[in-house]
Chains A and B, each alone.
Chain A
Amino acid sequence: MRLKTFPGGIHPHDEKHYSASAPISIMPTPPRVIVHLSQHIGAVSSPTVKVGDTVLKGQVVAEPAGFVSLVQHASISGKVTKIAKFLHPTGIMSMGVEITSDGQNLSVDMPDDPDFMSLDAAALKARVSAAGICGMGGAGFPTHVKLSPPEDKPIDTVILNGVECEPFLTSDYRLLVERADDILHGLRLIMKIVSAKKGFIGIEANKPDAIELLQKLTAKEKDLAVVPLKLQYPQGAEKQLIFAATGRKVPAGGLPMAVGVVVQNVATAVAIYEAVRYQKPLIERVISVTGSIVNKPMNLLAPIGTLYSDLLEHCGGVSAPIGKAISGGPMMGFALPALDAAMTKGSSGLVLFDEKAAKSMQEHTCLRCARCVDICPMNLMPSMIASAVKYKDLEMAVKAGLNDCIKCGSCAYVCPAQIRLVQWIDTGKIRYAEAMRNK
């Protein structure tokens, strides 16, 4: 099997064994959920309910505030008990709608439409838009926006991202092996919406059973192909995946549509399929709860807005004190200040570290060893950006690649001086944005 990949990158231990073999199981309805109003890139959704309202599962609780925004739905049935700031998986406090369960789990009507494939592109897109779907790989870009490329940017290829290059996480993997048919339906629908001729599914070589299964299912479909990829982080980053699968380079500062490609995560493909066929809003997703100290690591299909503490409790808690709780994967995820954050549509994992693994190392002076430069998948000079930011030389930081950085964390991973390169670069990005505003 010839494996494709991209230049640069690293090889962290994949640590997927904790939860890889746990089939997707259903999280029982939690006592309460918090539907965050900012689960996506774009304008914060505006609530359409008020405290005291009763809601059904699947009912709209917030509407989009503009085109690049998202509709939000209740993920359980019950009563709206609070609209306030709650802990967000990114570690900040952010507005959300708290729904306390009535224990009934009553749902809005979700009729099966077996003839869903015959709908036209506009109708399909309308259903996607109404379902409040955003990219479920982490970044959370509203899907209906991604599926509306301008006329002058024809799309010929759709790539499904089944890479899941973050260590520990296995939610996409479980979807690939358990819901391959739904994923392929989703792919077909996306291709139809953007009128693409070719569909790829990128999967890394550490999931051979998923590759084999999808290859079998697509064997007779000439316009679909599985792209087996060499194990390399950050293969799941959009630009890296596009290059690995098609050899096309997305121009700096540009979007995938500039090279005729749309990338969607496999979980998003499933959500699109369900949105189109059942008019089911995005109210639940698969999340991996994993780590060496989790008693029963699981892949849970949980209502959006479930508290991480409830997920962990369902997984039997932990066997040792928690040192760090990460929302997402350990390479790009956020370390939470507390476990009462509520999962969002982009929450693919909750990874728990013991106190030893949580220990942060002392930052040393840069040795100029160039490891970061050698592995940077964006071909930047991370150490130089970081030191330019440190010495407040924004011009130099930009020259060294500040604005091209995708914050994948590969540089900080390999740095022998333990320099927090991503943190410095992030600081630089914020300072640069400030400087641009003040101009």
Chain B
Amino acid sequence: MNIKDKLTVSAAPHVHDKTTVKNVMWNVVLALVPALIFATYYWGIRALLLSLTGAVTAVVCEALIQKLRKVPITVHDGSAFLTGLLLAFNIHAGAPIWLPVIGAAFAITVGKQVFGGLGNNPVNPALLGRVFLMASWPTQMTAGWVAVKDSAISGLNDLTRIATDLQSLSPKAYELVTSATPLKVAQTLRDSSFVADINAQAGGLNLSGRIFSSLTEMETLKSLFWGNIGGCIGEVSAFALLLGAAYLLYKNIIEWRIPLFYIGTVFVFSFLFGGIPGSEISMMLPFFHIFSGGLMLGAFFMATDYTTTPLTKKGRIIFGIGCGLLTIIIRLVGGYPEGVSYSILFMNVMTPLIDMLTRPKAFGRVKK
């Protein structure tokens, strides 16, 4: 028996838990399916079409570049599909179809392949694609938002709660609560000249305070949670995203530290500093902040990207808190209503530094 030729000789360990890059990536895609279903339910087939366009563009781009680079084509690992899908999730349902095409192409080429592909990119490619689109086509990215059927973009559906006849009372305020996203409403109410304007239009009524407090009413929060608001395709329903996030946490694919500290920081600081003059701070204000905008999508699906976030546990806590602080700073004092993308990108860049500063102490090693 010549057994010698048949035995495999390799280094230990000889067993593996069978997790592969492929099954990690496709599991994340699977976790985004509830959000995609909600988006399709709310906005119709167009949301689905835009999302798939982004994903397919990313896959095609990656394959082409890998062919050019003469390296193995690895699009079956799902990472390009995921990047394209996430990019499209950051675009609103009323956007033109070429927008996700350009965004996904940029994300894959400049965001990922330029650096050598999977595992080597310094920042989240999907987010880089998004801010590229924001900078290049701001109008297409922010205009023409489509409201979910039978609902206002802002989620403030029952305007009688603010004033019985808001439209005639203050046209400016009416325009705001019917055509802006919840975060845009919150941001605008922080503009003192705007506040003075609408309150004067309403004849001295504290209209700004009423609008602001209606943002944190249960009705509005419910809309935010389920997704009865305007927003980007993937970020609309906090519920759908939490469902996916729970799956990823259960499957041990994402780790709890970044999302918890990210959302926790936003929660605490929105409560401390989120109020506006002339309005009482509601206990529900933190909920308004964590359920609106791209926070859920960002915290669970973008800020947990392996390649661009810290390796160390302590580092991930710092990363999460950093994202949270930047998000809240941008939302409350910055020029944009929303700051999730920029916060995560900024912290991505900080990642090597964080890793260096939080290198763990070996078991049994004392500090020098």
Contacts and interface: CB of A to CB of B under 8 A. Distances in A.
* Same assembly: yes
B364 interface: yes
Contact of B14 (A239, A333, A369, A418): A333
Interface stretch (B87-95, B186-194, B234-242, B305-313): B305-313
A370 B116 CA distance: 20
Contacts of B16: 361, 412-413, 415, 418
Given A373-B312, A414-B17, A367 B12 contact: no
B4 A338 contact: yes
Given A330-B15, A331-B15, A380-B360, A358 B8 contact: yes
A261 to B, nearest CB: 13
A49 interface: no
B7 A338 contact: yes
B311 A335 contact: no
A399 B7 CA distance: 37
A413 B7 contact: no
B313 A374 contact: yes
B311 A370 contact: yes
B160 interface: no
Contacts of A365: 116-120
Kindly state the interface size class of chain B when it binds its partner. 35 or more
Interface in B246-278: 255
B359 A254 contact: no
Contact of B306 (A323, A360, A370): A370
A332 B362 contact: no
A365 B121 CA distance: 12
A323 B6 contact: yes
B3 interface: yes
Interface in A329-360: 330-339, 351, 353, 355, 358-360
B335 interface: no
A366 B3 contact: no
Interface stretch (A22-30, A279-287, A420-428): A420-428
B13 interface: yes
A99 interface: no
Contacts of A371: 19
B10 interface: yes
B94 to A, nearest CB: 35
B306 A369 contact: yes
Nearest to A366: B119
Nearest to A338: B4
A335 B365 contact: no
B30 to A, nearest CB: 16
B68 interface: no
B9 interface: yes
A12 interface: yes
B24 interface: yes
A413 B366 contact: no
A418 B20 contact: yes
Interface in B1-53: 3-4, 6-17, 19-21, 23-24
A383 interface: yes
A10 interface: yes
B9 A413 contact: no
B359 A400 contact: yes
B320 to A, nearest CB: 14
Contacts of B14: 324, 326, 330-331, 333, 335, 351, 353, 358
A332 B14 CA distance: 8
A217 to B, nearest CB: 32
A154 interface: no
Question: Which of B313, B316, B363 has its CB near the most chain A CB atoms (within 10 A)?
Answer: B363
Nearest to B356: A399
A335 B10 contact: yes
B70 interface: no
B311 A383 contact: yes
Contacts of B316: 370
Contact of A413 (B15, B363, B364): B15
Contacts of B118: 364-365, 367
A154 B132 CA distance: 66
A65 B21 CA distance: 50
B17 A10 contact: yes
A307 to B, nearest CB: 13
A40 to B, nearest CB: 20
Contact of A252 (B21, B120, B365): B365
B12 A334 contact: yes
Contact of A249 (B120, B306, B364): B364
A413 B12 CA distance: 9
Interface in B288-315: 306-313
A230 B218 CA distance: 45
A419 to B, nearest CB: 10
A62 interface: no
Nearest to B118: A365
A194 to B, nearest CB: 21
6 contacts: A336-B7, A336-B9, A338-B4, A355-B6, A369-B24, A381-B311
Closest CB pairs A-B (n = 9)? A409-B13, A252-B365, A404-B362, A423-B11, A369-B306, A365-B119, A330-B14, A358-B8, A416-B19
Given A13-B15, A335-B14, 8 more contacts: A243-B363, A250-B364, A324-B7, A368-B307, A370-B310, A373-B313, A381-B311, A416-B19
